[in-house]
Amino acid sequence: ACGGMFCDNQQDPMPVDQTGEVILFRVTADSVEAHIQIQYDPNTEASRFAWIVPVTAQPEITVGSERLFLNVQNATVPAYGFQSSFEACDYGGGDYGGYDGSSCSGGATGAGTSGGGSGGPGGEDPPMMGGTTVLAQDSVGAFDYAILESQTVDDLMTWLGDNAYYQDPNAAPILDEYIQEGHLFVAFRLTQGSSVGEIHPIVLTYPGNEPCVPIRLTRIAAQQDMDIRAFFLGDDRFAPTNYRHVVVNPLKLDHFQFAGNYKEAVTLAVDGPEAEGHAFVTEYAGESKVVPTEGVYSELWDAGVFQGATPLTVVSLLDAAELFRCVGDVCESYHALVPGLLAKYVPVPDGVEPDAFYSCVECFADLVDMAAWDAAAFAAELDERVIQPGKHAVDMLGSHPYLTRLYTTLSPAEMTVDPVFHETSGLEEIDLRSSLASVYTPCAGATTVTLSGFTPVDVKVFQTWPDVAPESMPWAERVELVPPVGTPQVLLDNTEVIEQLIGEWNAGARVDSPQPRCYGDDDDDDDGTDTANADGDDEGCGCRADGGGLQPVVFACLLLGGALLGRRRRR
């Protein structure tokens, strides 16, 4: 989540550890719509917390779609792997290292892995409490909120404390910075009776066209190298304004292990020279239609159907809407917020397993808590938290043709500047969803890997990604500033250094790929031949491709699903 998050932990308020930030911006000519996914470490066991977000103008506040975040992240997640090709060699009918061409040697998988409130009474001045003005105060979804304007940080901290919005004294200096810059604050807390399982994204819509992530306040609760991922829907590609843009050196990503070191590589690239800890990488920039709308919204979703529901019929109605389904005694929710709503309005009786209960509520009719059920309230919350956010998300995807995905990691000490972003035109599209290294194994000689734009690199240890000059090889291929108009300004280009190190690596001792015993080697025939290369000058075995020429036989595999994929998603 953006801003600072704190929890009420017994006697002393404390920050809730934040494991990452994911925010999606919709940018128009005169407004910014920030969809904020709230993430925190569940091990904190915080049942109540406050979340403070600095804003530049008074926003409209609504509920966001959790499924939108899931679909956007899954549709654009970077994926790394390799494709292999083998020179066709004639080994006299023998096999080649056990390879029979029936399976793929490499696949691509994930990198490492990605109702509005109202103000005060009409016509009246907002209430002033001490030096803090309450511009608006209401509830949205599972949260109470207040929009505040304070004269001093003491005024703000006093108001938050007096109104049970828990805060951390360590946040005071950072809050004071925002006050001096003219910011307002939106304070959130869980409504009474809401559970952590009901937490949902929040949408802040405010005037302007410059999206910003208020990261400074996050540092009091952030973990080291915290993931920051920002998505942008608009008419063109987005880039950081006051942060650098980095292209990661692809040779530092272990494609043989499907880039399991992706986060480390990005972290070291953005922490390197010229980037200095304040930079983003672009993971996707292209058409927004790659994002599926399945599960985000359905015409089957109708809150009115639930107005006359009872605890005994609500599960079947959710089934008909394809939101929640039980097969036998196993239940599955197709929306993240539905289980929380069921738990609130149709709580599971003590001593009963949830799946057993919801798969046959009528079987436990005598144990149903009828006092917890309110059909009108259930329908209203389903509409506010599930149906309307989903419908808006689908409309939003359809109205903006371009999607950008940016990623970085930041540690608390680096959270000193709020990143600002801008739309820019003329830049190329970027798609890392299928980033494959080409692996070529000849009949004789070293196997090589080729990455786009670079000289092939020798593989010196069989099936091990080449760790070329680990002490000297830069993690970033390029560091640049991206202006709103025109080509990027290159601050650092390591292409020549990378090529030089590859050349030195390849010039070193070559290690041939493991080769099978060749047909005719040391044979016992009396024909006087040992190998097909009778002169003994050629390296390795004598190879002959059918048809008289050496032709590459290519085996490439991009696994798209199933258990073989082992897809490691970054979110």
Residues 355-366 pLDDT 10s: 999 999 999 999
pLDDT of residue 463: 82
Confidence of residue 50 (pLDDT cuts 50, 70, 90): confident
Going by C-beta distance under 8 Å and a sequence separation of 6 or more, which residues neighbour residue 102? none
pLDDT tens per residue, range 241-251: 999 999 999 99
C-beta of residue 201 within 8 angstroms of C-beta of residue 38: yes
- E strand or H helix at 407, and its extent? strand 402-410
CA 452 – CA 306 distance, rounded (Å): 55
pLDDT tens per residue, range 536-550: 333 333 332 233 333
479 three-state secondary structure: strand
**What's the alpha-carbon Rg for the chain, to the nearest Å?**
29
Phi, psi angle pair for 207, to nearest 5° = -70, 145
pLDDT of residue 361: 97
255 three-state secondary structure: helix
CA 450 – CA 402 distance, rounded (Å): 30
C-beta of residue 410 within 8 angstroms of C-beta of residue 240: no
Mean pLDDT of 300-314: 97
Tokens of 164: 């049970």
Distances (CA, A) of 189 to 142, 148, 180, 284, 403: 8, 14, 25, 34, 31
Confidence of residue 127 (pLDDT cuts 50, 70, 90): low
Confidence of residue 194 (pLDDT cuts 50, 70, 90): confident
Mean pLDDT of 200-215: 94
Average per-residue pLDDT in the chain? 82
C-beta of residue 14 within 8 angstroms of C-beta of residue 63: no
CA 145 – CA 290 distance, rounded (Å): 34
Place of tokens 């992530």: 213
pLDDT tens per residue, range 385-440: 999 999 999 999 999 999 999 999 999 999 999 999 999 998 999 999 989 999 99
pLDDT tens per residue, range 499-516: 999 999 999 866 555 544
Going by C-beta distance under 8 Å and a sequence separation of 6 or more, which residues neighbour residue 263? 112, 225, 227, 409, 570
